[in-house]
Structure formats: structure tokens, C-alpha cells
Amino acid sequence: MPTRRETLKSAAAFAAAGAWPLSLRPARSPSPAEAGTGAQAESAAGADEAYSLFDFEPLAKAKMSHAAWEYVNGAAADEITVRWNREGFNRIRLMPRALVDVSKLDCRVNLLGQEMPFPILLAPTASHKATHPDGELATARAAGSCGATMVLSTLSNTSVEEVVRATKSPVWFQLYVQHDREFTRELVKRAVAAGCKALCLTVDTPISGARNREQRAKLALPPGVGYPQLTGLKIPDDPSLHLARLESSIFSSLLSADLTWKEVAWLQSFAGVPLLLKGILNPADADRAVKEGVAGIIVSNHGGRNLDTAPATIDALPGVAEKVAGRIPILMDGGIRRGTDVLKALALGATAVQIGRPYVYGLGAAGEAGVARVLRILQQEFEMAMALIGRPRIRDIDRSVLWPAT
Ligand SMILES: Cc1cc2nc3c(=O)[nH]c(=O)nc-3n(C[C@H](O)[C@H](O)[C@H](O)COP(=O)(O)O)c2cc1C
């Protein structure tokens, strides 16, 4: 029987020989251009010791300002929905099949004609420069090196043109419709001209939620940092990041409380790229979305940041999937932290998932290298889940992977 010392030695040799599963290692060394502003060098700053998405949270918290941490980590009101997002996944048990050949795993998906190496996208999150000075460029480079699609927020601190140039992976654009509809039309055209491959219209945010931690922390953007997508927009009020101020009005100058299905049809009339609706929970809305001809929907509760006590997205997904009945692809986000969560979402009807906070924590902890590591860990965990459940191909993942409810 090997001694503990021998076991440790052989583990070290195994690692040194590069025998750890492939996807945690970069696919190849980044070029100097891709390596950017020293982001790779940051990989030594603790993120190398992160082995799960949860490991990034303390690392990010230690590096980020208190206000930025509260902004990213916080959610609406009593933060019940954000907790449910996790609890929903934890409640679902899995039913493995034994003696299946899983020596070859294929986790590629085709989404809206786009081939993706794995079914995980980066959800739109605002203001990356509040988290790391390299901001959205670091995120885009990491998405590029991992083959992930990044959905860029309207409220990014880097222009859509620069972001698209920084990555060889596709970029989608998330739209907050502005009060000035002509400005909105030009913004969409600008994003499409820059090369964005799809438009995600956020429909769950006519106003912001009661984000009390964000309100208390009073986050302000670093000097000189702004919202390049909103340049030229006439805003009656200073567009500070601190959207949920306690003002006389709950309405925001950056969000359209009068957004309806009319704008969905309007956007489709000129967008020229597939339109997805982000923030659908209600099956009736999903049905309407299909009838309006949208290309896809994203089941999301905005990471619990808007309507507190709305259900967990993994609990909302089956009803939506039943209504949609395969007519258009469904994405989902909210609480995805483990490869088994991705598996569960696919089993319940999603074609792909998005992650929000986890990659922002990766960005805060170690810039580009941190975001890339978050993506690789989740991809690898998903591959592990496929192998251990006995489903080597995505198309084999269905409800049969779920342990029946008792
Ligand atoms: C810091 C932060 C900023 C966000 N900004 C946006 C945004 O600009 N537009 C949008 O549609 N959703 C935004 N979201 C919601 C995410 O797109 C996504 O729905 C959510 O983060 C998923 O939940 P998760 O954080 O548990 O993965 C944001 C979320 C966070 C945490």
C-alpha cells in the first residue's frame, strides 16, 4: 500500500505531466495582444487555488471595493429569490446510469445557428470597471480564449466596438430600451454594425428592484469611467451607477417603464439579428413571445435583483418549457454555480445557460485569467456531470437524468 507521501508525490507527478483534465488548462498560450494589460500575470494572485466557482467569492471580496462587492453580490429586498435560485438546484436529485461508455464526451450545442463548444454563456452584467480596471475587455478576452459567447450589457464601461474587437468568440448585445426610441434604434444598429450576433432585450426591468445593499453602499464609477453606449443620450439626470436611489420617483432615466410588446415588434422590424427576450418567468409570456416571432427566450429573474419572492428560475423553467414545446430555444440563468446545475437546467428544457455573478467574481479576483478560470471550471464540472450521469452527448440529457420526486 503506498504511503501518504508516495501518494502525494504521484499526484504531483500526475499534475506535472499535464494529466489533469484538459479544460482547466488554457487551450493555448494567449498572444501578447490577447493577454492584454497583464491580466494573465494576475493568475498567480490566488485564483489558481480556486477549484469551484464558490472559491472565487472570498478572493473577489478581498480585492473589490466594499461598494462594488455590495453591488455585485447584493440582490433585491430580503434577498429571498436569490437564495431560492440556489436552493432550487440543491433540491433536485440526479439519477445516474451505470456502465455507459463515456470515454468521449460531446458538449457542443447549436444555438440560433451558432456552434458553441459548451452550453454556457456570460450573462450581461453592467459596469465591469467597477470590479476591475480592465473591465469588459478582460471579460471579452477570457470569453474568446474559452470559446464562450459574451452578452454585453447596454451599461458596459467599454464600447461595443472595442469589446467585439477584443474577442474571437461571438458577442451578443443586451438592450435596455431607452426613453428616446430613436437613440435606441441607433444603439441597436451600432451594436449590430459592430458585429453583435444577437440582441437580448431585457424585459424584467421596467424599474429597478429595491436593492437595499446597493443603495446603502452608494457605488460610484471610478473617475473617467462612463457608459460609452449611452454617449449622446440626453438624460435629465446624472446617470450614476447608483440606479436605485431613494428619490421622489421609483422610475429611472435609463430604464423604460413603458416598454411593451409593441417595442418587441418594433425591434424585430429593423434589428437584422435574432431577438431574444431576457427575463421571462410566466408561461403565458413565453407563449406570447413565440407568437410574436422572437428567436429565443431567457428564463431569468435578473439574479434575484428585481422582484423579490419571484420563484427560482429552475422552478419556473419547466412550466415555460412545457408551453414553448420546443418551438424556440430557451436559455436560463440564476444560481448556476456547478456543472450539475447546467445538467439540471438542460434536463428541464434549457438549450443553454448563462452565468452572471460567478464570472464577475472571477474578474474581480484575477481579471481576464479569473474569468477564464471560472469558465473552465464550470465547463469541466459539466463534463464530469455528463460522464457520471452516463450521458455522453447533450441530446441524451432529458428528464430521465432526474430522480423522480417522492
Ligand atoms: C452585477 C450585476 C449586473 C447586472 N447587470 C445586468 C444588465 O446590465 N442587464 C441585464 O439584463 N441583466 C443584468 N444582470 C443580471 C444578469 O444578466 C443575470 O440575469 C444574473 O446575474 C444571473 O444570476 P447569477 O448572478 O446568479 O448567475 C446583472 C447581474 C449582476 C450580478
The mean pLDDT value of the chain amounts to 89
Q: What's the grid cell of residue 234?
A: 440626453
Q: Is residue 156 in contact with ligand 1, taking CB distance under 6 Å? A: no
Catalytic residue among 128, 132, 179, 302: 302
Residue 122 Cα, ligand 1 centroid: separation in angstroms? Answer: 10
Residue 100 Cα, ligand 1 centroid: separation in angstroms? Answer: 37
CATH number of the domain within which 319 lies? 3.20.20.70
Enumerate the H helices of 330-356 as residue ranges.
Answer: 339-347
88 part of a folded domain: yes
Looking from the CA of residue 85, the nearest atom of ligand 1 is 26
pLDDT of residue 234: 85
291 part of a folded domain: yes
pLDDT of residue 236: 62
Specify the higher pLDDT residue, 52 or 2: 52
Q: Are 369 and 375 in contact (CB under 8 A)?
A: no
Pocket test for ligand 1, best of 129, 230, 298, 302 (most atoms within 8 A of CB): 302
Q: What's the grid cell of residue 328?
A: 424556440
Looking from the CA of residue 335, the nearest atom of ligand 1 is 26
Sign of CA dihedral 78, 122, 218, 64: positive
Q: Is residue 364 in contact with ligand 1, taking CB distance under 6 Å? A: no
Tens digits of residue pLDDT in 177-213: 999 999 999 999 999 999 999 999 999 999 999 999 9
Residues 6+ apart with CB under 8 A from 212: 74, 77
46 part of a folded domain: no
pLDDT of residue 149: 98
Q: Is residue 302 in contact with ligand 1, taking CB distance under 6 Å? A: yes
Residue 267 Cα, ligand 1 centroid: separation in angstroms? Answer: 22
Count: domains in the chain = 1
Confidence of residue 365 (pLDDT cuts 50, 70, 90): very high
Q: What is the mean pLDDT of residues 307-335?
A: 98
251 part of a folded domain: no
Q: Are 126 and 309 in contact (CB under 8 A)?
A: no
Q: What is the mean pLDDT of residues 371-394?
A: 98
Beta strand segments in 162-219, E:
171-175, 199-202
pLDDT higher than threshold 70 for residue 38: no
CA–CA distances in Å: residue 255 to residues 122, 201, 203, 356: 22, 12, 10, 20
How many Å apart are CA 54 and CA 58, to the nearest integer?
Answer: 8
Q: Are 373 and 47 in contact (CB under 8 A)?
A: yes
How many Å apart are CA 125 and CA 296, to the nearest integer?
Answer: 19
Q: Are 301 and 310 in contact (CB under 8 A)?
A: yes
* Percent of residues, the chain, with pLDDT higher than 70: 86
Confidence of residue 237 (pLDDT cuts 50, 70, 90): low
Q: What's the grid cell of residue 204?
A: 424584467
Tens digits of residue pLDDT in 203-225: 999 999 999 999 999 999 999 99
Tens digits of residue pLDDT in 135-182: 999 999 999 999 999 999 999 999 999 999 999 999 999 999 999 999
114 part of a folded domain: yes
pLDDT of residue 238: 52
Q: What's the grid cell of residue 182?
A: 430613436
214 part of a folded domain: no
Tens digits of residue pLDDT in 368-382: 999 999 999 999 999
Which residues are bridge partners to 110 per DSSP?
115
- Range name among 245-259, 277-291, 364-378 with the lowest pLDDT average: 245-259
135 part of a folded domain: yes
Nearest to residue 104, comparing CAs of 374, 392, 362, 363? 392
Domain of residue 280: give its range. Answer: 52-63+83-205+258-401
Verify whether residue 302 is a known catalytic residue: yes
309 part of a folded domain: yes
Confidence of residue 405 (pLDDT cuts 50, 70, 90): confident
Q: Are 53 and 59 in contact (CB under 8 A)?
A: no
pLDDT of residue 26: 38
Residue 302 Cα, ligand 1 centroid: separation in angstroms? Answer: 5
